[in-house]
Structure 1
Amino acid sequence: MIDKATALESVLRKLKKLPVGHCIDLRTYKRNRSLLIIHIKDHEFIIYEDGYEKNTHEVKLKGVRKLLKTLFKREFPRSNKIRMYELGEYDEQMRERKMKKL
């Protein structure tokens, strides 16, 4: 669990060290909305947004900061804490992770 105020810097630091083919999952405290970030090529990422909106974003490392800022505002508007999971090697089943039922 990381504070939303420091989440952007923590995620960017983690993405710079993330090996190609691995992914990170960011979720709200209640685990009902998520951002799945996959390192596909050198300095290229895919971000799957699953919450208020369901979108796919393909972005280079330079554009990740700006995109994550807007996604944090949209998907985690009232969250103070964000869960960050390092999932390791990506496969298609991770995209279809079950959301927590309320």
Structure 2
Amino acid sequence: MFILYSQALSIIQIRYHKLPCPGRLGVSSFKKDRGLWLDKLPDGRCRVSEFGFQSDSRIIDADQLAALLKRIIKREFPRSYKLRLEIQSED
């Protein structure tokens, strides 16, 4: 599924909160060369793994997610118009 860059932050937050507990949400560029993965952990925290311009992985509390996503989206997708959204659930 594709989402617009201008709506990315709100859509990502909504989709993340609707994920089942061991779930994974991926956001990448159209070419799939830059992106990030959000893993919802059972203890209520989130693992954020970004790849592309900067490769990093960190575990944060869910209330810090919005501020971190805003910075990552600006850094990883500076000229993107459409972003690819992927949802994986561990059944």
Classify the TM-score, shorter chain: over 0.9
- 1:15 is displaced (CA, Å) by 1.0
- 1:43 is displaced (CA, Å) by 2.9
CA distances 1:44-78 after superposition (whole Å, capped 9, x unpaired): 10011111111012111111000000000111111
Tell me what 1:50 maps to.
51
Deviates more, 1:15-24 or 1:40-49: 40-49
Q: RMSD between aligned alpha carbons?
A: 1.3
Deviates more, 1:52-61 or 1:67-76: 52-61
- Runs of 4+ residues deviating >6 angstroms: none
Structure 1 unmatched runs, 5+: 91-102
- Residue 78 of structure 2 aligns to a residue in which SS? coil
Q: Percent of aligned positions with the same letter in both sequences?
A: 28
How many residues are treated as equivalent by the alignment? 90
Taking the aligned partners of 2:16 and 2:42, their CA distance within structure 1 comes to 12
Tell me what 1:73 maps to.
74
Q: Return the letter of the residue paired with 2:75.
A: R
Taking the aligned partners of 1:9 and 1:43, their CA distance within structure 2 comes to 19
Structure 2 unmatched runs, 5+: none
- Residue 41 of structure 1 aligns to a residue in which SS? coil
